[in-house]
């Protein structure tokens, strides 16, 4: 019996807004798609003082590989004295962060303009939604 595997597609766009790189993720981040995205985020976080906003609002799925990817990006940014902000209005994702003990670890905003204009620390409550 032949099996067919369909690889979920994760697409992303990047753009610079001032000195901030905005990465918008679409599709799914799972064990199959995370490695390619990790390579790109590693490049974006390799600079001195990286300033990165990752927009997750059009992401349809994220599993533990995706969470690991976000943690890796955060650790790389922090090691280089930079800044990483996540944009999401998905209550399910926020609950996943809380369940994984990652609430309070990321700067989280529900809208992109707020993430770009934000003062150093302003977090969306994890229990919202």
User: What pLDDT, on a 0 to 100 scale, did the predictor assign at position 53?
Assistant: 97
User: What pLDDT, on a 0 to 100 scale, did the predictor assign at position 123?
Assistant: 47
User: What pLDDT, on a 0 to 100 scale, did the predictor assign at position 98?
Assistant: 93
User: What pLDDT, on a 0 to 100 scale, did the predictor assign at position 4?
Assistant: 41
Element (H, E) at 91: helix 91-99
User: Distance (Å, rounded) from C-alpha 47 to C-alpha 41?
Assistant: 11
User: What pLDDT, on a 0 to 100 scale, did the predictor assign at position 61?
Assistant: 93
Q: Are strands 83-87 and 20-29 parallel, antiparallel or unpaired?
A: unpaired
User: What pLDDT, on a 0 to 100 scale, did the predictor assign at position 119?
Assistant: 55
Which residue positions in the chain have pLDDT lower than 70?
1-9, 119-129
Q: CATH for 11-117, among 3.30.750.24, 3.30.497.10, 3.30.1490.100, 3.40.50.300?
A: 3.30.750.24
Partners of residue 22 on adjacent β-strands: 15, 53
Sketch the domain layout of the chain as residue ranges. 11-117
């Amino acid at each position: 019996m032949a099996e067919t595997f369909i690889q979920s597609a994760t697409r992303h766009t990047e753009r610079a807004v001032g000195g901030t790189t905005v990465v918008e993720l679409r599709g799914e981040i799972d064990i199959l798609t995370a490695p390619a995205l990790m390579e790109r985020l590693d490049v974006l976080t390799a600079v001195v003082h990286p300033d990165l906003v990752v927009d997750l609002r059009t992401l349809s799925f994220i599993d533990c590989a995706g969470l690991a990817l976000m943690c890796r990006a955060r650790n790389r940014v922090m090691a280089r004295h930079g800044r990483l902000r996540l944009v999401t209005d998905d209550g399910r994702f926020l609950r996943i962060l809380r369940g994984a003990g990652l609430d309070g670890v990321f700067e989280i905003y529900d809208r992109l303009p707020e993430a770009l204009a934000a003062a150093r620390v302003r977090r969306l409550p994890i229990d919202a939604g």
